[in-house]
Amino acid sequence: MTRDIEQFAQLGIGEALTAGLLEYGIGKPSPIQAEAIPYILEGRDVLAQSQTGTGKTLAYLLPLLQRIDPEKKESQVLVIAPTQELAMQIVREGEKYGAPLGISTIGLIGGASAARQVEKLRQRPHLVVGTPGRLRELLSTRKLKLHEVRTVVLDEADQIFQLGGADDIRALLKGSLRDRQLIFLSATLGPEVRTLAEREMRDPADVGIEPEQKLAKTTQHLYFVCEERDRIDILRRVVRHYNPQRAIVFVNQTGTIAEVEAKLNHLGLAARTLYGEADKVTRATVLSQFRSGKFRLLVATDVAARGLDIPGLELVVHLDPATDSEHYVHRAGRTGRMGRKGLSVSIVTDRQEFILRKFSRELETEIEPRVLYEGAVLTLAEAEQRRSSGAARWTPKRSGSAAAGRSEAAGVPASQGSSPVTGSGAAGRAHGEAPQRSAEPGRTQPRKPAGRPPKGSKKQPNKDKGAPKWLKDKRSTQDPS
Ligand code: ADP
Ligand code: MG
């Protein structure tokens, strides 16, 4: 269905904006942009669903910036985002492309000084971006008025819906113009959001780019099984092995997040934390330091799962399994963006393995078991091969892939091979962990140096494998090297 669009200009995006885009190396619209931009320019209501990292922000920002009249001192567009971090990311994009057109942008987020925001609101910034909580507060005290707002965008609409429910969203929409344009976007637009859309939207354009394909095709999904107490150790080895420029480590609870951070730092892995209860200044500082490379591992709750676009984020680790497949989609969606290669690694106990099998089924995506052995990452078949050719020098516990079943004792090496790292000998060893330092039995394959993903897959996919066609085309024209 995707129209073959080569240029933003063909979609109706003006010269000032296309020049701005080129400055940032953006020359060709992504499919969701090609589909959504014409409708948004027309003023149509739009429901847009496409995978994480496919350019949904510019799909709405570009046409809306184009339609803003900078001469009028009116707040014309309101964008609602579920978290402070995402709202500020959108503010930065708005400023980046809007400022050269004379368009002013404001971020209204919780935790920041409301007084300063109110002061700035008096200038009637053209583009208002905010989180639901702060928006509600400013609306109820009538500091923020929406009567001039022509367009309301819900970025990560399903998440906003989950945070506040339909009534809350309706209350937020109430003050805007009756015939306002409404735009909902997400990689996951469930039935609740669609019901709300039916009630609030007029004849919406339903724009979906492979809506059933929720995960980026360029991301590989792996998991390691281990004992509860070995989680951090497996995490350390995974980070050592894949050596990502940056990684996010997701945990489910704020209660244990400081402990994880401390353990990682103790192991020499520079880590900091991001979670909802931290104050706004700390959250902003941590994220900006992460972006600029001051530390490598961001230990975060799901507050970091939605919408964040962080360059160089090559690895997502689920230190606790995601609560459901949608959370998995958004966590994993922090990597493998815009056709780049990504890796999503879950670390689970054998009792949690069924969760990944469930996600794999629901998302129709392979989430494959792997085993760590002497710094190498092996498939179960490769591990098995080494085991059998190594005459029982060691046996990684078979983690229960559908074929393997559970075998508690199988992971115990016959004799030697106690790990100098865990010091726990064989008995308590994790599934995901083969003994260290034992001779590599009957090496059937040359040992690969530790390095970049994907490991364990025999063929090294080329950089464009799985990248969307439009992006491959773009690379071949833009990147002759
Ligand atoms: P989504 O909201 O779909 O998850 P984003 O809007 O955050 O994705 O965009 C992901 C990344 O792709 C951003 O870094 C953005 O600057 C970049 N990007 C957006 N549009 C294009 C494009 N047409 N070509 C190349 N990169 C793009
Ligand atoms: Mg987004």
CA-proximal residue: ligand 1, atom 1 (nearest): 53
Contact 168, 94 (CB under 8 A): no
Per-residue model confidence as pLDDT tens digits over 254-293? 999 999 999 999 999 999 999 999 999 999 999 999 999 9
Q: Give 400-444 as a DSSP string.
A: --TTT---GGGGS-SS----TTT-STTTT--TTBPPSSS--TT--
Contact 399, 384 (CB under 8 A): no
Say if ligand 1 is within 6 A of residue 309 CB.
yes
CA-proximal residue: ligand 1, atom 19 (nearest): 55
Q: Give the pair of three-digit tokens for residue 406.
A: 């559970």
Determine the Cα angle at 326 with ends 322 and 329, to 5°: 80
- What's the rounded mean pLDDT across residues 82-102? 97
Which of 46, 338, 473 is the pocket-test mutation for ligand 1 (most atoms within 8 Å of CB)?
338
Residues 187, 87, single domain; the answer is yes
Residues 230, 193, single domain; the answer is no
Give me the half-sphere count of Cα atoms (radius 13 Å) on the Cβ side of residue 345: 30
Residues 231, 168, single domain; the answer is no
- The answer to the question of residue 401 being in a domain is no
Q: Give the pair of three-digit tokens for residue 374.
A: 């002497």
3-state secondary structure of 166: helix
Contact 303, 84 (CB under 8 A): no
- Please determine, for residue 54, whether its predicted confidence score (pLDDT) is greater than 90: yes
Say if ligand 1 is within 6 A of residue 221 CB.
no
Q: Give the pair of three-digit tokens for residue 121.
A: 């609101």
Residues 159, 47, single domain; the answer is yes
Last residue of a domain, one of 369, 391, 418: 369
Output the pTM of the full model. Answer: 0.82
- The answer to the question of residue 427 being in a domain is no
Question: What pLDDT is recorded for position 181?
Answer: 96
- Please determine, for residue 428, whether its predicted confidence score (pLDDT) is greater than 90: no
Contact 160, 132 (CB under 8 A): yes
Cα–Cα distance, 261 to 76 (Å, whole number): 43
Cα–Cα distance, 200 to 174 (Å, whole number): 10
Mean pLDDT estimate for the chain: 83
Query: What are residue 250's phi and psi, to 5 degrees?
Result: -90, 135
Strand partners, 348: 225
Question: What pLDDT is recorded for position 178?
Answer: 79
**Residue 421 is which amino acid?**
V
Contact 421, 466 (CB under 8 A): no
Residues 239, 199, single domain; the answer is no
Among 261, 281, 283, CA closest to 272: 261
**Relative orientation angle of helices 84-98 and 15-23, to the nearest 10 degrees:** 120
CA of 332 to the centre of ligand 1 (A): 16
Question: What pLDDT is recorded for position 3?
Answer: 52
Ligand with smallest separation from the Cα of 58: 1
Ligand with smallest separation from the Cα of 13: 1
Query: Which of left, alpha, beta for 306 (phi over 0: left; psi -120 to 50: alpha)?
Result: beta
Distances (CA, A) of 307 to 83, 89, 109, 208, 335: 9, 9, 16, 17, 11
Question: What pLDDT is recorded for position 289?
Answer: 97
Greater pLDDT, 439 or 165: 165
- The answer to the question of residue 354 being in a domain is yes
CA of 247 to the centre of ligand 2 (A): 19
- Please determine, for residue 173, whether its predicted confidence score (pLDDT) is greater than 50: yes
Per-residue model confidence as pLDDT tens digits over 438-461? 333 333 333 333 333 333 333 333
Per-residue model confidence as pLDDT tens digits over 180-238? 999 999 999 989 899 989 899 999 999 998 888 899 999 999 999 999 999 999 999 99
Residues 122, 264, single domain; the answer is no
Helix or strand run (H / E) with residue 225: strand 219-225
Question: What pLDDT is recorded for position 172?
Answer: 86
CA of 52 to the centre of ligand 1 (A): 9
Residues 177, 254, single domain; the answer is no
Q: Give 156-209 as a DSSP string.
A: THHHHHHHHHHHHHHHHHHTS-TT-EEEEEES---HHHHHHHHHH-SS-EEEES
Q: Which one of 30-44, 183-197, 390-404 scores highest in mean pLDDT? A: 30-44
CA-proximal residue: ligand 1, atom 4 (nearest): 53
CA of 314 to the centre of ligand 1 (A): 16
- The answer to the question of residue 426 being in a domain is no
Q: Which domain holds residue 168?
A: 2-208
Question: What pLDDT is recorded for position 169?
Answer: 86
Nearest ligand 1 atom to the CA of 51 is: 3
Ligand with smallest separation from the Cα of 471: 1
Last residue of a domain, one of 208, 237, 268: 208
CA-proximal residue: ligand 1, atom 20 (nearest): 55
CA of 396 to the centre of ligand 1 (A): 41
- The answer to the question of residue 439 being in a domain is no
Question: What pLDDT is recorded for position 5?
Answer: 60
In percent, how much of the chain has pLDDT > 90? 69
Residues 202, 258, single domain; the answer is no
CA of 402 to the centre of ligand 1 (A): 37
Say if ligand 1 is within 6 A of residue 306 CB.
no
Per-residue model confidence as pLDDT tens digits over 457-476? 333 334 444 444 444 444 44
3-state secondary structure of 29: coil
Q: Give the pair of three-digit tokens for residue 363.
A: 């998302």
- The answer to the question of residue 102 being in a domain is yes
Q: Give the pair of three-digit tokens for residue 407.
A: 């075998």
Count of the separate structural domains present in the chain: 2
Last residue of a domain, one of 173, 208, 243: 208
Say if ligand 1 is within 6 A of residue 87 CB.
no
CA of 93 to the centre of ligand 1 (A): 10
CA of 441 to the centre of ligand 2 (A): 48
Distances (CA, A) of 205 to 46, 192, 208, 243: 5, 17, 10, 43
- Please determine, for residue 323, whether its predicted confidence score (pLDDT) is greater than 60: yes
Residues 226, 348, single domain; the answer is yes
Cα–Cα distance, 88 to 60 (Å, whole number): 16
Helix or strand run (H / E) with residue 193: helix 191-200
Residues 250, 199, single domain; the answer is no
CA of 404 to the centre of ligand 2 (A): 39
Q: Which residues of 335-351 are buried (b: 16+ CB within 10 A; e: fewer)?
A: bbbbbbbbbbbbbbbbe
CA-proximal residue: ligand 1, atom 15 (nearest): 55
Question: What pLDDT is recorded for position 401?
Answer: 42
- Please determine, for residue 126, whether its predicted confidence score (pLDDT) is greater than 60: yes
- The answer to the question of residue 444 being in a domain is no
- The answer to the question of residue 456 being in a domain is no
Residues 45, 186, single domain; the answer is yes
Question: What pLDDT is recorded for position 4?
Answer: 56
Say if ligand 1 is within 6 A of residue 26 CB.
yes
Residues 141, 265, single domain; the answer is no
- Please determine, for residue 176, whether its predicted confidence score (pLDDT) is greater than 90: no
Contact 350, 337 (CB under 8 A): no
Strand partners, 186: 49
Nearest ligand 1 atom to the CA of 28 is: 23
The CATH number of whichever domain residue 58 belongs to comes to: 3.40.50.300
